[in-house]
Every structure is written in C-alpha cells, then in structure tokens.
Structure 1
Amino acid sequence: MTHLLRSERFPAILLLGAAALGLLVANLPFGGSVIDFSHAHLAIPGTPIDLSLAHWVSDGLLAIFFFGVAVELQYELTTGELSTVRRALQPAIAAAGGVIVPVLVYLAIAGHDPATRDGWPIPTATDIAFALGVLAVFGRGLPSPVRIFLLALAIIDDIVGIVFIAVLFAHDMNLGLLAIGVVLVVVFAVLSRIDPDGRGARIAVVVLMIVTAVLSWAFVLLSGVHATIAGVLLGLAMQQSPGMRARHVLEPWINGLILPLFAFAAALVVIPQVSPSRLSPALWAILIALPVGKIVGIALFGWVGMRLRPRGTAPTVAFPDLLAAGALGGIGFTVSLLLANLAFADNAVIRDQAILGVLGGSMIALVLCAVLVSMRARHHRRLAASSSAIGPTAP
C-alpha cells in the first residue's frame, strides 16, 4: 500500500475520488449533518487556538502538505531543474502567462462585482499531485525535456500560490507573534543541521524539531498569517538531506490521508438548485479561467519564452507541447480550493459556488489534458520508433 501511495497515478485517483465523494455526500439527504459536523469547533485547552474541524484540516494538516512542497521547491531551486536561469527561463515565462491570463479572464467576467472581485487568485494555481498523476497515466513516451518543463511549470505555480496565500490573506497581523514563529523556524533550521552521535541523541533532536515545528505553526496561525505558510517556511529552512528524508516518510500520509481529507472537506458543497443565470459570476469566471485562461496563457507566454532562447539552440518545448502543458496547468484543485475558501471566507454562498467552479474547471482541464497529453505522447513515441527503425547514422 505504501508503494501505491508513493506512486504518481494512485494519489491523483484518490484525490479525485475524495472530492467526488465529498460533493456527493453534501447533496444527499444527510449531507447537511455532515457539513454541520465539519463546522464543529475543537479547541486546544489553555491556548487561544480554537478551529473548526474543516479548518483543522485546511490550516493544520495542509501545513504538512506545504512542508513537503517546500522541501521539493528547495531541492529544485538549489540543485534541480530550476537551479539555473537558463533552465528556469521558459517555464518561468510560461508560468507567468498561466497566472496573468487566468486573472484577466476572471476579472473580465467577475471583476465588475465587488462581492466576487477578490476571487481573482483562485484560477492561478496548478495541482502538482494531479500534474504528476496525469503525466504518469497519459504521458508515456514524452521526452525528458517536456516532462521536466511540465514539472517545473507546476512547481513555479506552487510558488505563486504560496505567495498569494502569504500576502493576500493575512488578517489583523500581529508582527510580534509572527516574529516568534520565524525565530522558531530558525531554531528548527539549526536543529536540522545537528548530526548527533547515537540513536538516543538523534531521537531527542527529532523530538525537539517536531515540538519546534508545532510551536512555529501555532504562532504563525495566531499571528493572522495563514498557518500553511509555517509549513512552507519550515520546509525551505530545513537542511536538504534530512528534509528529503522527512518528505519521503510523510509522503504516504500526505497522499493517502491529508490531501484526500482536504479534498473531501473542501468539496462538501450543496449544488444550488437555481437557474444558471442566478449563479455567481465567480463560478463562471473560474470555470472558464482555469481551462481556457491557463491554456492560452501558458502556450502564448511559453512561445514567447522560446523566442527568447539563445540563437541557434533548439526549442526547449515545442508549441503543441505547450498546449498540453496549458491544459495540465488548468487542473487547479488543491491550492485553488484553498484559495477559494480564503477569498470568500466571509460569504458562504459565493465560496461554495467558487468551489464548484474549481471542481468543474479542473475537470474540464483534466479531460482536455488527457486528450492533448495522450496525442503528444503518441507523437513522440512515433518519432522515437522512426528513429530506432532508421538506426544510427554512419559518421
């Protein structure tokens, strides 16, 4: 089972199934009771921390997911595929288009209404777990540069989503508490660089790191900054080698429990029984901006990135592959669901419809992506077969 949870295909299927189950349960006769239960509060005695069960998932457990994302980001930015400007240039330019164009599409549809205007960050995210799952299922035969480009694109989109969460959704920020949280992150970073002798000493250091990480999360939460940012800071601060080991240990729990639980809780939305004309502009804006805005933005800006490559070098990714990458980028899911909850935290009706927009837009993008990635994978397999048939050219 652990092997399955560390694979690329199964976690994506599990995540999709959990979201579908949440949407189904919410619309069954007992769905109201389940939704009410998710809003029940659970406090930590003796502390000011008092969150609903849904927020324990989105603010607490999801911080562990963002810790894993940040560890991977640290690796890619230092020694991986984004470690040089040349490697990062085209995916960075394409990712910029995958943010700018969806925002413009959203604002064109829903920006005129003050009640829905704040939802513009929602269609900017890409779900990296789904991206890897789609590539594993439909991308057999894609050459390495294309796969690397798609992965880099999803990682850069994760960075953008993290920045939006940190900058746009901090409320009544307490700089003193935030400073304590940051100091604890520094302590965590120092502890991760200690290499003690003996099993007992290593266990003691690990326990201290866990306690420090939890305290850092608590202070960031109480500071008014979204608590998942604590996971990001801890992942970026941890020494790379132990960080990658920690991510490996946490990966089955993230893929098998945390993400499905979040998808289920986030998808507990009652489908409104109204005519389409009475639905919120936010729903339509997200539904269009995720698949269409991402494809147009990533393909167009990625093409511009190709034009900026050094003269005489081959394109990193061909334009048809950029279209497939754009469809892949439209699968917002995890981070988009979180952004929808944050953007419309004070308006449950619009929030629920925005979540439906995320689910619908991501599904449209998923179907388009399956078709386009399959076509491009077949194309590259044919090229590889033709090259093999011709054989090596004589010098």
Structure 2
Amino acid sequence: MCPASRGERPTFLSVLSWPERTAVAKALRTETIGGLALLAAAVVALVWANSPWSDGYEAARNFHFGIPALGLDLSVGHWTSDGLLTLFFLVAGIELKRELVVGQLRSPAAAALPVVAAACGMAVPAAVYVATVAAGDGSSEGWAVPMATDIAFALAVLAVLSTHLPSALRAFLLTLAVVDDLGAILVIALFFTSDLNLPALAGAVAGLVVFYLLQRFRVRGWWWYVPLGIAIWALTYNGGIHATVAGVAMGLVLRTTRDREAPGRKAETASPGERSEHLLRPLSAGIAVPLFALFAAGVGISLSGLGEVFTRPEPLGVVLGLVVGKTVGIFVGTYLTARFTRARLNPDLTWADVLALAMLAGIGFTVSLLIGELAFPDPADAQHIKTAVLVGSLLAAALAAVLLKRRDRIYRRLWEAENVDANADDIPDIYQRDVTGDADGNVTGDADGRDGGA
C-alpha cells in the first residue's frame, strides 16, 4: 500500500516499489519451486501410507536415532518437525525482520492492512473451530490448527494454475503468511510447551545473546554461527519449548540492513540476513518442508475416515476453520481496515480479487499439520486431524482456483503491463519514469506519484 501524498488517499494493492518487488520475486520464486516439491512429497506420503508397503512407511517414520546423552534421541518424524522445520521458521524470522525494517511492515500505516488481515485470519478460524466443537461436544484442544497459511502450497497452486497474479497481490499474500508464521510460532511457544527446563532455557537465551553480540560486532564466518545455532536449538528443545521457536528467534536477531562505507568499515553488498536467506531458503523450501510433509502427511484414507471428517466435531472444525474462517477473517479484516484507513483499492482490481486471495490463504498444510501433532498427541486423533487439514486445504485451493481463473485474463493484462521492458535493460519501464533512488536503491518517487511504498 503506497503512502499517500498530502491529502491523497492511500492505494491498496498498488504497484510495488522496485526494491520491494525484487525482494518479493526472489522469495516467491524459491517458494514456488519448493511448493511443487511439497505437493510431490505429500502425494508420495499419501500413496505410500495407503499402499501395501504402509508398514514400511510407519517403520521409517518411527525409526529413532540421535544422541541420547544430550536428550536428542528422536524419531525420523520428530527430527523433521522439530529439526528441519527450524530452518523453515528461521527463514520466516529473517523475512519478518526484513519486512519490519525495510519492507511493508516498517511503516505503521502500511503495516495496518496485512497485520489486521492476518490477525483476523487467525482469530476467526480459531473461533469457528471452537464454535463447531462446542456445538458437537468436542475437544477445543485443536483451536490453533486452522490458523496457519502455507505460502509454499498456495504458490504451488498458483503455479499449477499458471496464473499471472500481479506482484502486489502476491506480495500481500506473502506478507500475510509471514505475519501468520509469527502468530503460529507464538501460539506454539505459549500453548504447546512441555515441562520447562529453566537451566536449558537460560542456556538458550545466553546463546541468543552471544548470537546478537556477534552480529553487533560484525563477526563473520559460518564456523561461529552454525555451531552456536545448533546449540541454541538443542537447548531450546531440551528446555521444553518447541525447537522451531529457536529458528524464529535467530532470524529476528540477524541484521537485515546493509552497512554503508564508513571509517574502518567497508560497504556491504548484502546484509547477514540477506546472505543467510539466500543460502537457507532453498534448503528450507526444497528439502526441509518437503521432508516434513513426507513424514507428516501420510495418513490412511478410507471412505469411513473421510466420513468422520464431516461428522466428528474436531476435524469438521478444522475444515470449516480453514475454508470458511480464513476466508471470512482475512476478507472482512482487510475490507474494514481499508475503510477505516480510507485506503482506496487499486482501480485495476476488485474486492473479488481480495476474496480469492483470502480463500487461497485457507491452505494450512505444513504449520497446521505441525500444530495438529502437538494438539493431538494420540495417533488415532492425530490421523483424523491430519485428514481434515488435507481436506480443508484441498477445498480451499479448489475454490480459490475457480475464483482466480475467472479473473486470469485481467491478471494477465496487468502482469504484462507491469513487465514491459522496451529498452531491454531488465528493469520494467514503469520503474523508469523520472525515478530517483537513494544509496540503498530505494525508490523515492516517479511521474505517477508512486513513492516506493508497497
């Protein structure tokens, strides 16, 4: 959303600034490829778990290895959820820090829409779940399961549909997911902790302080950060807090602004956060998340099991939370916030586009599966919840696909207009109309009155 000139109403879902669009495009490109790998892993898990070799799937998922003396003798399933997903949340922490410092969330006015939309997109699904289980005398333990949005899965759906969604809509979806991830990790930290081990947690906090000091004094070298990061992760796990919290914490500590040239200090071409994200995002999207899906999404599918999704209150609450709660929460939150802030919608788009995006955000999958495992430790209950997550995510994807494909001709026209590059210099012409930039490459204005806001 662009900051408005004096007396001018801000525009919601307007063209992104060039630096913001470049950063968003890099993130989405990797997440889209990772999303396709995620879909493939989920399909393999479902086929394997429902094949004659399902016993082999269970044996592989439950195989234990590690270092028992350090409290790290875990099953393969736990290594993927407590270990590999830490990379996912580390990248999410870096992305959130970037958004807070140099992205859409740096300005309270610009942050209002995505933050309120994400908050409503978490609160309403939880309320829908609680209302559903209350009506059916079910358990409210899974209230947090339908709160999450899986950006990789959502982007994979867009890739399969071959849509030409404008960059502003994609950026809004990404920002929603980033804020959503922060909400999910706070829920995990506050509501899904085991008995706390205070000495271990004190050690994790001390490790984070050392991590911060290394950043503060510009210490470089992976040999400092990798062992320290592993130690922080292990101490957090043994401290009784879900280990993925350590990933977000380290991501938020990493510096995301580049040093300028100064006496005794060289100018940086990339900040530590940018370098880390460049290295870790492919590992997160292409390896960590698909492996988690491989060992989390393998549920036995039967007609009776699918029937129970719609007859038992807990799984039905998950489905309704993802499909109805997410859509209503994000759309209503966005609409009311836009009206309250007097923001006008980009005239090239309609509120139906926001509705489709809100429905697409109902794809929970990765984090929903994780929270489902934490909320329902009993394997039988977890099976029903996982099935509900799969059904709800697929329903949300299908409904969003119908809405998006109806508008694809308009999206294609907007996308082509955004990418016209008549002088073939790899910078679209819309960013070269009397554009000026500062030393960091931030756009400060152009002939259309855009000043670099998102």
Q: 1:392 maps to what in 2?
A: none
1:230-269 to structure 2, matched below 5 A, reads: 230-240=246-256, 241-269=271-299
Residue of structure 1 in register with 2:382 after alignment: 351
Query: How far apart are the structure 2 equivalents of 1:187 and 1:114?
Result: 49
Matching of residue 159 in structure 1 with residue 182 in structure 2: yes
2:235 aligned to which of 205, 216, 219: 219
Question: Residue 185 and residue 112 in structure 1: after superposition, are their counterparts in 2 closer, same or farther (change >3 A)?
Answer: farther
Looking at structure 1, the residues matched to 145 and 92 of structure 2 have their Cα atoms a distance apart, in angstroms, of 19
Deviation (angstroms), 1:260? 0.8
> Of 140, 147, 151, which residue of structure 1 is paired with 2:170?
147
Structure 1 equivalent of residue 224 of structure 2: 208
Matched, 1:177 2:207: no
| Secondary structure in 1 matching 2:74 | strand
Q: Distance in 1 between matches of 2:364 and 2:414?
A: 31
Whether 1:48 and 2:71 are equivalent positions in the alignment is: yes
What's the counterpart of residue 393 of structure 1?
A: none
Query: Where does residue 392 of structure 2 map in the other structure?
Result: 361
1:108 aligns with 2:131: yes
Once the two structures are superposed, what CA deviation does each residue of 1:311-361 show, in whole Å capped at 9, x if it has no partner? Answer: xx523674212201211210111111111111102x111111101111111
Distance in 2 separating the partners of 1:112 and 1:41: 40
Relative distance call for 1:248 and 1:8 in structure 2 (3 A) is: same
**1:20 Cα deviation from its structure 2 partner:** 1.4
Deviates more, 1:176-185 or 1:128-137: 128-137
Show the 5 A alignment for 1:68-79: 68-79=91-102
Which is further off, 273-282 or 290-299? 273-282
Bigger Cα displacement from structure 2, 212-221 vs 282-291: 282-291
**CA shift for structure 1 position 244:** 1.7
Is 1:283 the counterpart of 2:315? The answer is: yes
TM-score, normalised on structure 1? 0.87
The answer to whether the 8 Å contact 1:40/1:52 transfers is yes
Task: Find the residue that maps to 1:50 and give its secondary structure.
Answer: strand
Shift of 1:89: 1.0
Partners of 2:97 and 2:241 in 1: CA distance: 21
Counterparts of 1:193 and 1:57, CA distance in 2: 32
For the Cα contact (< 8 Å) 2:61–2:295, is it kept in 1? yes
**Partner residue, 2:330:** 298
Q: CA deviation at 1:140?
A: 4.8
Amino acid at match of 1:294: K
Select 1:372's aligned residue among 403, 407, 423. Answer: 403
Partner secondary structure for residue 52 of structure 2 = coil
Pair 260,142 (structure 1): closer, same or farther in 2 beyond 3 Å? closer
Equivalent residue runs for 1:16-35 within 5 Å: 16-35=39-58
Task: Give the drift of 1:6.
Answer: 5.3
1:10 corresponds, among 33, 39, 45, to 33
The question of whether the paired residues in 2 share the 8 Å contact of 1:98 and 1:294 is answered with yes
- Rounded to whole Å, the distance in 1 between the matches of 2:140 and 2:332 is 25
The alpha-carbon deviation at position 121 of structure 1 amounts to 0.4
SS in 1 for 2:30: coil
Task: Give, in angstroms, the shift of residue 150 of structure 1.
Answer: 2.0
The worse-fitting range, judged by mean Cα deviation, of 318-327 and 17-26 is 318-327
Structure 1 Cα separation of the partners of residues 106 and 295 of structure 2: 36
**1:261, 1:371 → 2: CA distance?**
29
Residues in 2 aligned to 1:138 and 1:302: alpha-carbon distance in whole angstroms: 25
Residue type at the aligned position of 1:341: E
Corresponding letter in the other structure for 1:124: M
User: For the residues of structure 2 that align with 1:5 and 1:320, how far apart are their CA atoms?
Assistant: 23
Cα distance, 1:8 vs structure 2: 4.2
Q: Residue 13 of structure 1: CA displacement?
A: 1.5
CA distance in 1, matches of 2:80, 2:235: 17
1:79-94 alignment runs, 5 A limit: 79-94=102-117
Offset at 1:381?
A: 4.3
SS at match of 2:106: coil
Structure 2: tracts of 5 or more residues without a match: 1-25, 257-270, 421-454
SS at match of 1:56: helix
Could you list the per-position Cα deviations for residues 84-125 of structure 1 after superposition, in whole angstroms to 9, with x for gaps in the alignment?
111111122222221122112212222356763110100010
**Cα-to-partner distance string for 1:2-45 (whole Å, 9 max, x where unaligned):** x9995343221110111111111111122023213311221315
Name the % identity: 40
SS at structure 1 position matched to 2:304? coil
Q: What is the rounded CA distance, in whole Å, between the counterparts of 1:382 and 1:255 in structure 2? A: 30
Cross-structure match for 2:61: 38
Specify the code of the residue in structure 1 equivalent to 2:232: S
Give the Cα separation in 2 of the matches to 1:235 and 1:4. 15
C-alpha distance after superposition, 1:186-223 (max 9, x if no partner): 21122234446xxxxx5xx4212111111110110001
CA gap 1:191/1:385 in 2 versus in 1, 3 angstroms? closer
Q: 1:114 and 1:42, CA in 2 relative to 1: closer, same or farther beyond 3 A?
A: farther
**Offset, 1:135:** 4.6
Separation in structure 1 between the aligned mates of residue 415 and residue 284 of structure 2, nearest angstrom: 36
Corresponding residue SS for 1:117: coil
Could you list the runs of 5+ residues in structure 1 that have no partner in the other structure? 197-201, 389-395
Question: Residues 175 and 19 (structure 1 numbering): CA distance in 2 closer, same or farther, change over 3 Å?
Answer: same
Please list the CA deviations of residues 210-237 of structure 1 after superposition, one character each: whole Å capped at 9, or x if unmatched. Answer: 1111111011000110000011111111
Contact residue 186 and residue 237 of structure 1 kept, 8 A: no
Q: Secondary structure at the match of 1:51?
A: strand
Could you tell me how far apart the structure 1 residues matched to 2:71 and 2:413 are?
Answer: 61
Local SS of the residue matching 2:105: coil
